[in-house]
Amino acid sequence: MDGARGAGRALAALLLAASVLSAALLAPGGSPEHGAEAAPPRADLDKKRHVELKMDQALLLIHNELHGTNLTVYWNSERCYHCSFQVLVNVSWSGKPGKPSIAAVAVSTQHGSILQLNDTVEEKEVCRLEYKFGEFGNYSLLVKHVHNGVNEIACDVVVNKNPIDSNLPVCVAFLIGVAIIIAVSFLRFLLSLDDFHNWISKAINSRETDRLINSELGSPSRADSLGGDTQPGGWCPPASPPRLRCVDTFRGIALILMVFVNYGGGKYWYFKHSSWNGLTVADLVFPWFVFIMGSSIFLSMTSILQRGCSKLKLMGKIGWRSFLLICIGMFIVNPNYCLGPLSWDKVRIPGVLQRLGVTYFVVAVLELIFAKPVPESCASERSCFSLRDIIFSWPQWLFILMLESIWLGLTFFLPVPGCPTGYLGPGGIGDLGKYPNCTGGAAGYIDRLLLGDDHIYQHPSSAVLYHTEVAYDPEGILGTINSIVMAFLGVQAGKILLYYKDQTKDILIRFTAWCCFLGLISIALTKISENEGFIPINKNLWSISYVTTLSSFAFFILLILYPIVDVKGLWTGTPFFYPGMNSILVYVGHEVFENYFPFQWKLGDNQSHKEHLTQNIVASALWVLIAYILYKKKVFWKI
């Protein structure tokens, strides 16, 4: 035990040391000029040369050297799909030849910009250019006549001051991470030199004693969490649980990534949710969590039923847990400690845990109703079908296909007043501003109709780029159907792990097959394009292509983790294993204590990615550490 525990402690200490070290390394030398206060709105900056730059912005000075022409400059982001142009600034003619008039504006540097310069009066195009500005750069756009035979107008971008490299802190953090992994591996190698066999046998022994498999949400003891209060010798005798560490490790990875992106992800756009279509790191984590919940539902339920618990009692337990999840979720999504008491009229109803609760309920009940005993391993028998994991659960598959038809039917055929039927777009200025209030099409309409505008999420991720003004909830009612489908694909992964127990090759073949099959569906649905596919990948809608893509990735991750963690034991899943074992506690804890020190502190420069990144990494590492300590103390939050 000592070797494993020592390694664990050393690792935890290293993690903390690394956090502190990276905090020190990344901390600013001095406070740069660009302050924390909000910059004035872009439109009012005409003629004013002094612009407060915020994070992910560059300064653009537009020089109008055209004689007698007033310019209107329009702006659009390259990532904003089919968006109408927004007025950036008007640059009037200075009135004096030879003296250009200059307007200063802040432009976004997250994605490429499209600038369109029109003659204000005649509304005719002067020029149009695409440019990717860099963070905190200083650029000039020179608009002038060039006299090379024909009288043409040239628009040239000149760099006055080079931008900073925004991604440098991410690279540094990544390198520190790699260095820690190498250091820990080396440390463990040193530890193992003396009494290698001794240590290994102890490590394996400690793995036996850990109660590794857990309930659906990551609590370690299935007997306590689902089977009711077990008395020794009662009618749910504890059985030795199947040891599937990869499931907990995967859950932990998804959870810690979720903590990191929820805390801000260094305010990088790729650690935030997509504006509308597309996939960022932040969009990965929730579906993975749902997927792994599905796998755990199957693993724990099978074991509980094998122990002869009554289905009715289990049903009651499932209902109660779902209810608790929904209640905790309602509590978490309605914080009011800073904003004053929340009115009952503004209570948000949907949310992450609410959706998990509903998904859990549907999938667990579905599996309970049609539960069949898992056939004994039949590697040598010819009588076993190679598709028994699928064929044995045809009623579940039928139900899931029915649900998916409902999603497709409602999404594409439900008439929404004032909007085109089957609309999947973000509304706002998207689709050239034709359907500003149609955000999310049928999904948004159903939520607004059934729950009301005030009871859903008010700041959808599309608000920034697409300027949507209506409320839209990414955890809405219609999307829940697809999260049930996602969880069911996770159940399928659980079935593969259990039906083909001890047949590593069979398991890996099936993971590969599912990964490819779901990947091909995604390719067909999206035409490998962000916006042009039949059904684009979309986190806000939880579109079916989002589910197939993310479950394809999930099967891929299991394909990697299962042999490494469970078969060969090359990696114990540390440190992700610990939060994976206590996921409800870490999830609720990170949400509730988000604004507490030391998960958040006052930054020297509020507009610096590196400070945000340091803070968010430290906070995520702290949750890993907390999970580790609680694991050692055998404290688990079970509901």
List, by residue number, the catalytic residues. 273
Quick one: 435 or 599, whose CB is closer to ligand NAG?
A: 435
User: Applying CB under 6 A, which of residues 52, 70, 167, 237 lies at the interface with ligand NAG?
Assistant: 70
Closer residue to ligand NAG in complex, CB, 77/582:
77
By C-alpha distance, which of 284, 279, 230 is closest to 253? 284
In angstroms, give the least distance from the CB of 361 to ligand NAG. 35
Q: Closest distance between ligand NAG and the C-beta of residue 44, in Å?
A: 8
User: What's the min distance (Å) between Cβ of 24 and ligand NAG?
Assistant: 29
What gap in Å lies between CA 464 and CA 306, rounded to an integer? Answer: 52
Report the residue number, 76 or 616, with the smaller CB distance to ligand NAG.
76
Closest CA to 250 of 218, 297, 282: 218
Least CB distance from residue 438 to ligand NAG, whole Å? 9
CA 50 → CA 39, 42, 47, 91, 102, distances in Å? Answer: 10, 12, 9, 16, 12
Q: How far is the CB of 138 from ligand NAG (least distance, A)?
A: 4
Query: Interaction with ligand NAG in 416-455: which residues (CB under 6 A)?
Result: 418, 436-437
CA atoms in the 13 A half-sphere facing the CB of 323: 6
Closest CA to 480 of 292, 368, 354: 354
Q: Is 182 in the site for ligand NAG (CB under 6 A)?
A: no
Kindly tell me which of 93 and 587 has the beta carbon lying closer to ligand NAG: 93
> Cα dist. 621→75, 106, 283 in Å?
40, 35, 20
Distances (CA, A) of 105 to 149, 247, 488: 33, 50, 50
What burial letters (b/e) apply to 133-145, b meaning 16+ CB within 10 Å?
Answer: bbbbbbbbbebbe
C-beta closer to ligand NAG: residue 232 or 418? 418
Q: Which of 11, 15, 59, 236 binds ligand NAG (CB under 6 A)?
A: 59
Phi-psi region of 488 (alpha: psi -120 to 50; beta: other; left: phi over 0): alpha
Residue among 563, 362, 388, 565 nearest 492 (CA): 388
Of 95 and 233, CB closest to ligand NAG: 95
Element (H, E) at 366: helix 352-369
Please report the beta strands in 92-162, taking only residues with DSSP state E, as ranges in sequence order. Answer: 101-108, 113-119, 125-131, 138-148, 150-161
Q: How far is the CB of 42 from ligand NAG (least distance, A)?
A: 8
Residues 363-422 that bind ligand NAG (CB under 6 A): 418
Number of residues that bind ligand NAG (CB under 6 A): 25
The binding track of 17-56 with respect to ligand NAG, each residue x by CB under 6 A or -, is --------------------------x-------------
- Minimum CB separation of residue 83 from ligand NAG in Å reads 11
CB of 93 to ligand NAG, least distance (A): 6
Token pair in block for residue 361: 């309920």
Which lies closer to ligand NAG via its Cβ, residue 100 or residue 351? Answer: 100
The CA distance from 358 to 515, in Å, is 26
Those residues whose C-beta lies under 8 Å from the C-beta of residue 480, and which sit 6 or more positions away, are 355, 358, 359, 542
Residues in contact with ligand NAG, shown as a per-residue x/- string from 81 to 100 under the rule CB under 6 A: ----x-x-xx-xx-------
Nearer to ligand NAG, 85 or 445 (CB): 85
Distance from C-alpha of 344 to C-alpha of 330, rounded to nearest angstrom: 12
CA distances from 200 to 2, 81, 192, 244, 578 (A): 11, 55, 8, 18, 20
Which of 61, 60, 141, 158 has the alpha carbon at shortest distance from 102? 61
> In which residue are the tokens 């790729």 written?
270
DSSP code for 455: G
The least CB distance from residue 128 to ligand NAG, in Å, is 8
Measured from the CB atom, is 101 or 221 closer to ligand NAG? Answer: 101
Nearer to ligand NAG, 66 or 246 (CB): 66
Write each residue from 120 to 159 as x if it is in contact with ligand NAG (CB under 6 A), else as -, in one continuous string.
Answer: xx-xxx------------x---------------------
Beta-carbon contacts of 96 under 8 Å, excluding residues fewer than 6 positions away, are none
Query: Burial of 473 by CB count in 10 Å (0-12 exposed, 13-18 middle, 19+ buried)?
Result: buried
Length in residues, the chain:
639
Question: Helix or strand or coil: residue 161?
Answer: strand
Q: Contacts with ligand NAG in 102-121 (CB under 6 A)?
A: 116, 118, 120-121
Helix (H) or strand (E) holding 377: none
Residue nearer to ligand NAG on the CB measure, 68 or 341: 68
Shortest distance in whole angstroms from residue 100 CB to ligand NAG: 12
Q: Which residues bind ligand NAG (CB under 6 A)?
A: 43, 59, 68, 70, 72, 74, 85, 87, 89-90, 92-93, 116, 118, 120-121, 123-125, 138, 160-161, 418, 436-437
